[in-house]
Structure 1
Amino acid sequence: MPNLDKKSDVTQPRILIIDDSRVVRVSLRKVLGAEFDIVEAEDGEAGWDALFADASIQVVLTDADMPKLDGYELIARIRAHDDVRISGIPLNMVTAATDEAARQRALGLGATDFITKPFDKVQLLARVRAQARMDQTTRNLAETTEALIEHATDDALTGVRSRRYFLRRGEQDLAYIQRHQQDLCVFVVGIDNFDDLKNQYSATVTDQVLVSIASSLGKAIRKEDTLARCGEAWFAVIAPTLGGNEATTVCNRIREQIAANPYSKEGTQIPLTVSLGLSQHGVDDINKAQHKTKGIEAYLSFAEDYMRKAQTDGGNRLMAAKPTKTTQKRISIDAALRILAKGEPQKLDTHIDTIVEQLMPLLIYCNEQRGWQLDTELKAFQQKINGT
């Protein structure tokens, strides 16, 4: 088993020493221990486990001949891994083998360096020190790149999220509501006659219109919703737990507010209207197979299609699929209780029949087990539900 002798507040670079000889591990620790936090492993498999489990390891030193997994096989496994943190780590073979064939084999498999025993203490320390710095630089660059990618998920003009972020976040929201049997909707807001605006006004003005619409949408949605600019003149919103009549109400309120408040700046007033397309989980799913896209992108595609149709029909309107009984989504008792606990009982209005249908067998079971003697009452209750 690897020795993960971690300090409570590690500031030193961490290195992994893999050797089946305790004498060699102690010798390396004496040379490197003053500058590095040491993790030890006594064979290749244990070393692999330690590297895989500890993301803070920055340099690896491994022996060649070891039980379970030798150094050569370990190098090959590390370099073949999908995780760049593992596959790109500085990796040294420290061995008593001095022949050129061993050296070429190790370097050919991807070893960073080949160090022979007995090793020169000054050179060994200098090499590991340089490699640790190199690994830290690589990590810093990776963090910077990740930050740039995250920044790229924001629309530069309006400051709202981009389509890329929208789809990524949407898959998370979709997975959540499917687990908890809750609603979700995606609605698209398109500015009507935007091409006419571009022909009539400068790019500066039309950009300001887009910023203004984005700001209005941001104020109209909830904290848990995600707003993104997904096209030149249209935005999209993911609204987890929102559905049914409530979703329709929100969309129409947004449409009415924008129509009632023309864009105004420096004496210029520009009347604006928007068209909305609304797609809902549990409503549009039934036609999902007809779309090439899947997951949240399918809902976005439905909503965009509805929005385009609304604009074609004259604009300043909401369009959505009409829910039917075949698309009514069952809600679990657990989900219903969570909605009640949040103080949102109105969300259960369209699910009463489903809730009662699930409750009746539970009530009958409890009556039998607890001896409540409510057989007559429950029978009458069941008849009322059935309409008999």
Structure 2
Amino acid sequence: MDLRVGVWLFNLLVILLSFICLITDVKSAELDIRPSTNIQAGAPTITFRCQPTIVSGVTSLYRLDISRLREGVSTEQILGTIQVGKQPELGPGLTSPKYTVSGSLTAIDTVSTSFLQIIIQDPNCNDKGEYVCTVTGGNSGGSLTPKKQTNVTVQENPSSLGINVVPSKSEYKSNDSISMTCNGNVGNPAKTWQWQTRRFPASIQWNRYTDSSDIVTDDVSPPIGGSCSYRQQTVLNYRVKAQDDGLEIRCILDNTEEFSQNFTINVSGQNNGGGDGNPEENKGDEPSDAGMIAGIVIAVIVVIVIIVIVIVVVVRRKKTPGKDYDTGESGKGPVPREPDHDPKYNNRNNPSDDYHKNVEGLHYADLELTRAEYRKNHPVPNNTRRSSEDSVTEYASVRVA
């Protein structure tokens, strides 16, 4: 009786050791993902390779599977499988060339040469999810199915972005209202819109537009038309200021230059007002109505003063008398003699001289042009006859008021 119990205990111990050996040797499954677990949409391929890690001591391998568990779905989708003695197969509903399967499986594998590989062409956001590698094997002691589960994300960049400006003009006036709308595919996961401004070349730094009361952003819309990207639009309602000439405004996703749309405001009759590119900080720079009125009043006063000055000058010129010329009759003495040809004035006031009488009360003075200085420097020879011109007397009439 004791011998039978001993044999039974020995057999039980062997079974337990075999099972422990199986658990110890088949430590886990390995799932290798290339190029990475975070794939950008547009990448050419993504490759999944499933294989056991250590299988020494295992008497047999039965099967390798690669499956995918999507968000919101309770059951796994089989992408590919391979069994001993059979060719690898794609899962139900999967076809080439989108999916490609390959692999090999040896029942007794001591060097881990068994594997199953799935290649997905042109991965997109529909290929994201939890991917699972399952290894099924065992020995006389039982079976074991270790798994390796890894999350894979596939991101899609924003695309088809555009900006629409209403009204669309080449130039705007101060106080005009502009509505700028940016929309398009905002990517997957959805990226966040932001409005920014700057004044180039005064500033190369973009500043965030922080007045949220001017911005209206819609909710994110789900992907449509086979696209994996979400859609969204944002609107900036902006009032033009006098100093906004050359102001650049842009909408941008995820603060990435590649995903942005720009618009430049040109203000008619204005030069670039400078500033740091943040129109909200320059709201107080515009002149007030009172200042404009004061400037107009000052300009009118200046014009009136100029007109008065011109009138005064003209009137004074009209009242200014002409110059008096003394003929020697006023008793002030003879007129100063000029250096060369000084005329002599002889008063002709003899009333008995009929030649000099004038019924209009005019007085005459003889104007004798002397050549004393000339004769002194140029004496005339005695035998030269004197010209009658030398003794000619000229007269000038002077009216006495």
Q: TM-score higher than 0.5 here?
A: no
Whose strand fraction is larger, Structure 1's or Structure 2's?
2
Whose helix fraction is larger, Structure 1's or Structure 2's?
1
Larger radius of gyration: 2
Q: Normalized against structure 2, the TM-score is what?
A: 0.21
